[in-house]
Chain A
Amino acid sequence: MSQTKDPKRESNPTPSRGFSRRGFIHGVGVTGAVAPGLLQDAASAQTPAAVMGPGAVPITLTINGKAVKLNVEPRLTLLDALRNNLDLTGAKRVCDRGTCGACTILLDGKVAYACSLLAIDVQGRKITTIEGFALEGGKPHPVVQAFVDHDAQQCGYCTPGFVVAAKGFLDANPKPTLEQVNDGLGGNLCRCGTYVGVRAAVLDAASKMKGGSRG
């Protein structure tokens, strides 16, 4: 999360007027009701982190199994680093704030939104983009093939995000029910309305992968 990068902002956590989520947390104190992620933020906010930037800094990312060296401003999102700096454009920029899932990637094998991660924050993590598995060995991944077979795509702009989300979901839930598919893919939005195909594709891919994804 980006809050730790700007210790100055912490010196005045409560706006003079109005109301903010952070001000609220300060006001009520840290309680058991606060989500664990917020607890971490609140704790780390008290120790100023090493300041980086605002100019470009050298970083190394592990993308699709390869170490990639980059020089980026600390504010650059992983998504923009992938798209603008590395030409890995399977992940799309649509909402740019963690709502639509078009930028879905796998972070240490788990589904994540690249628009909501800073590139400098994911050093040392295993980043998998759609380019890393979709056509591995020259053959479509079973999820990719299932999306084609069930026409789970129209304009296709959300599709790579769905495919990555489906792979991440199936890796964790190899034999899902339809209800689990609906829950598992609920973080991705499609404007053309391809969800009927997506449901069929994910269930079909699950049966074809026989409980074991590859890649």
Chain B
Amino acid sequence: MADYKWPAMSTRKALGQRVSRIDGIEKSSGRAKYTSDYKRPGMLFAVPFTCPHAHARIAKIDTSAAEKMPGFKGVYLYEKPGSVVSWAHWDIGYIAAETEAQARDAALAVKVEYEVLPHVVHERDLAKAGDRVKPSGEKIEGDVDAAFKQAAAVSEGLYEIPTLNHCCLEPHGCVVQFDGTKAEFNPSTQAVTAIQGDLARQLEIPAANVHVHQDHIGGGFGSKFQSDRWGIAAAQLSKMNGGRPVKVYLERNLEQFIAGCRPSAYAKIKIAGAKDGSITAWESASWASGGLTGGGSPPIPYVYTKIPNLRQTHQAVSLNTAPIRAWRAPNHQQASYLTCAAIDDLADKLGLDPLDVFIKNAGITARPETYVRQLRKAAEKAEWKKLWHKRGDSGSSHIKRGLGIGVCTWGGAGHASTARINIHADGSVEVELGSQDLGTGTRTVIAQVAAETLGLPVNAIKVKIGDTNFPSSGTSGGSTTVGGVSSSTRKGTVDALGKLFEEVAESLGAPADQLEARDGKIQVKGNPAKSLTWKAACQKLGVKTITVTGQNEPRAAAREGLNTGGVGGAQIADVSVDVETGIVKINKLVIIQDVGLVVNPKLAESQTLGAGIMSICGALMEERIMDGVTGRPLNAEMEFYKLAGIKDIGNIVCEIEVDEANDSRGVIGIGEPVAVGGIAAIANAVTNAIGKRVPSVPLTPDRVLNTLEGRA
């Protein structure tokens, strides 16, 4: 069997290099075509009409006026009289028209009558949620009551982290052409391969009759895996119009209303410790909502899982709000915040430095050495020894400075992936996968792996992704892409190169297994004098093309050593809080992360810095605010749904750990873990600055001031 192992660190030419993304110019110049940029001959536009009520029974749907509107080309209804809708902006149906404005006009002309039913949209106060609250798990270990009695200190607190929206800049949607038999589907998706079967099932046609193509996606973060109701409706409207292409993209408010959100999490946590800082007991009563079906169960205690005495209950709250979708490290931000805030509060009760407590308890994590190392590194970069103080900045200024810690963990092993490698007689090389590049640099890492194996420059590799004519590759979720595509590409290119060696062995006068590819040449191992240029070697193929596939199978991956999963990660925030205005400013956010073999440090750092910024958004700004009276979200538009701008982020410092020990684990995904710990770190830093715990994130000025004034 061929040797697929990654080459030794010291010999690598393309792997581990800071290669600029190969589609960078295309994107920066505005030439990159996202599917939302598509304009097809004869294209119609589809627009949804939605229910304004959070809970209602439909009495009547009248589309007659809409059908007489200029440009009207069809209506596709999801609901009928008697249907019950369970959240605001539930899509009742879709209208197609010649232009987008005409479609909007016609959608506005649809008259729907409702019998309004009672709704619940808030889960913070469980008493008000009534029978919407359902038990959803409990766990007891050890003797919790005894441990609390014997503890040197016990801390009790309520911690809250809200629902927030994915807010992908490219909204959900697609361009689709469906003639009743075959579909041409151009969605904005994280799942080029899998969405083919999803659409086929829903249109009741064979998967082979669906062709999917997408070159770029403008953000997904876990919310873009399915064809979605808008995609199916657009396909049906296309069919009604003899297969004319139909374009549907949600407008911003609908994107925020119904196309993705992260579950909330609330917890009353009681935590105990010994004098030396060891955590001895944990008791939590947590609850969360992910919309109508409840959902959302943060894995607490997080990272510090092996607390000897535990008692936990969790409740799920069913709300009349749009359903959750996976959110970059599902439930981990919530769990990290709840746990790290409680540990930070315990450290204060014990009169200890929280850094010491986080380090002291590394023994009850799954990766003691990793966390100790990473916490120490983060502390050094954050100047913890110099800047940390006991709770409450004692300086006389109204600007209070503080430091805080958050930790993370994630899996991130590679998904199932097949790569097809073509080596042509003219020397050109193609790597083809039904994968997608979420902006992580998937194309670039594939090119680097192929270049490394074949001894070629990165720009000699033509990477082709985003199409179901290419072999199937997993969905981009859970940080599984880089491990999957790098491993399948590695195996495919090793095998393809083996075939090329066989073709040229005779002319080089050496057996195929004595050849190597280096610096654009095929040569006899250790004897560069006996060589052929890559081009000359490929010419020997004559009329043939070498076509080989390589596969990453998750079950075999660990044995092969190309990719694995399981990482730690530590973050420290340094903030300043103006106690007169309640405004929190980030001075510095330090992120230390291990991710095994780092294919491209430049791209890994981009994701890490971006995740830090996303954490700042989550810690200080982002929250979906529901109106209890109407049951609708109040802040869907982006002027009210705040994201950090370039001025809001302070200085972000990251270290992706690159060393032999980490490298030997193979490739591990980075997208999720780096997006986890920042919220906890910032919340703890604010507490350290002002001397009091603000129980709810985001730490908006009003919440900070309320805490300072003792208002709940």
Q: Which A residues have a C-beta under 8 Å from some C-beta of B?
A: 73, 75-76, 80, 83-84, 87, 89-97, 99-100, 102, 129-131, 134-135, 140-141, 144-145, 147-149, 151-160, 163, 181-183, 185-199
Contacts and interface: CB of A to CB of B under 8 A. Distances in A.
Interface stretch (B162-170, B174-182, B446-454): B162-170
B39 A87 contact: yes
Contacts of A100: 169, 638
Given A153-B439, A186-B646, A144 B28 contact: yes
Contact of B27 (A76, A84, A159): A159
B31 interface: yes
A135 B216 contact: no
A99 B614 contact: no
A191 B30 contact: no
Given A95-B638, A156-B439, A196-B649, A148 B30 contact: no
A97 B637 contact: yes
A140 B637 CA distance: 34
Contacts of A190: 169, 613
Given A89-B30, A155-B218, A182-B646, A193 B612 contact: yes
B525 interface: no
B438 A155 contact: yes
Contact of B170 (A76, A92, A182): A92
Contacts of B646: 181-182, 185-186, 188, 195, 198-199
Given A92-B170, A151-B606, A157-B170, A83 B37 contact: yes
Given A134-B30, A193-B611, 12 more contacts: A95-B639, A99-B639, A131-B31, A134-B28, A151-B24, A151-B603, A155-B216, A163-B30, A189-B643, A191-B221, A193-B649, A198-B646
Interface residues of B, number: 56
Nearest to B24: A148
Secondary structure dominating the interface of A: loop
Contact of B652 (A73, A95, A141, A196): A196
B271 to A, nearest CB: 32
Interface string B642-653: 011111010010
A147 B24 contact: yes
26 contacts: A75-B101, A84-B39, A89-B33, A90-B30, A92-B218, A95-B638, A96-B251, A96-B252, A97-B252, A131-B31, A134-B29, A135-B25, A135-B31, A148-B24, A154-B610, A155-B169, A155-B438, A157-B218, A185-B646, A190-B169, A191-B643, A195-B613, A196-B609, A196-B649, A196-B652, A197-B606
**Most chain-B CB neighbours within 10 Å: which of A91, A93, A158, A192?**
A192
B518 interface: no
**Most chain-A CB neighbours within 10 Å: which of B438, B612, B643?**
B643
A140 B33 contact: no
B638 A156 contact: no
Contacts of B232: none
A111 to B, nearest CB: 14
A183 to B, nearest CB: 7
Interface string B586-622: 0000000000000000110111011111100000000
Interface string B82-116: 00000000000000000111000000000000000
Contact of A94 (B438, B638, B639, B647): B638
A144 B645 CA distance: 20
Contacts of B533: none
Given A94-B169, A129-B30, A151 B21 contact: yes
A50 to B, nearest CB: 21
B319 interface: no
Interface of B: 20-21, 24-25, 27-34, 36-37, 39, 99-101, 167-171, 216-221, 249, 251-252, 438-440, 602-603, 605-607, 609-614, 637-639, 643-647, 649, 652
Given A140-B28, A155-B438, A182 B169 contact: no
Given A84-B100, A198-B646, A94 B252 contact: yes
Contacts of A188: 645-646
A159 to B, nearest CB: 5
B219 A192 contact: yes
A160 B34 CA distance: 12
A152 B171 CA distance: 21
A150 to B, nearest CB: 9
Contact of B219 (A97, A131, A157, A160): A157
Contacts of B36: 92-93
B442 to A, nearest CB: 11
Contacts of A194: 606, 609-610
Nearest to A184: B646
Contacts of B639: 95, 97, 99
Contact of B613 (A91, A95, A193): A193
Contacts of B101: 73, 75-76
Contacts of B27: 153, 156, 159-160
Given A89-B37, A185-B646, A191 B169 contact: yes
A160 B5 CA distance: 40
A193 B171 CA distance: 17
Nearest to A140: B25
A185 B646 CA distance: 7
A77 to B, nearest CB: 10
A130 B30 contact: yes
Contacts of B645: 186-189, 195
A191 B252 contact: no
A160 B25 CA distance: 11
B278 to A, nearest CB: 36
A155 B21 contact: no
A84 B104 CA distance: 15
A75 B102 CA distance: 12
Contacts of B652: 196
Contacts of A182: 646-647
B610 A193 contact: yes
B10 to A, nearest CB: 25
A130 B29 contact: yes
B219 A191 contact: yes
A91 B606 CA distance: 23
A70 to B, nearest CB: 13
Contacts of B605: 151
B25 A148 contact: yes
Contacts of B613: 190, 193, 195-196
Nearest to A102: B169
A140 B551 CA distance: 37
Given A73-B101, A182-B646, A155 B217 contact: yes
Contact of A157 (B34, B603, B611, B644): B34
B219 A159 contact: no
A191 B167 contact: yes
Given A156-B216, A157-B218, A163 B647 contact: no
B221 to A, nearest CB: 8
A144 B643 contact: no
Contacts of B643: 189, 191
Nearest to B675: A193
Contacts of B21: 148, 151, 153
A121 B193 CA distance: 44
Nearest to A80: B100
A149 B18 CA distance: 10
A181 B647 CA distance: 9
B623 to A, nearest CB: 16
Nearest to B39: A87
Contacts of B171: 94
A137 to B, nearest CB: 13
**Most chain-B CB neighbours within 10 Å: which of A75, A91, A135, A196?**
A196
Contacts of A192: 219, 439, 610
Contacts of A96: 251-252
B430 to A, nearest CB: 23
A160 B99 CA distance: 25
A147 B607 CA distance: 15
**Most chain-B CB neighbours within 10 Å: which of A73, A129, A135?**
A135
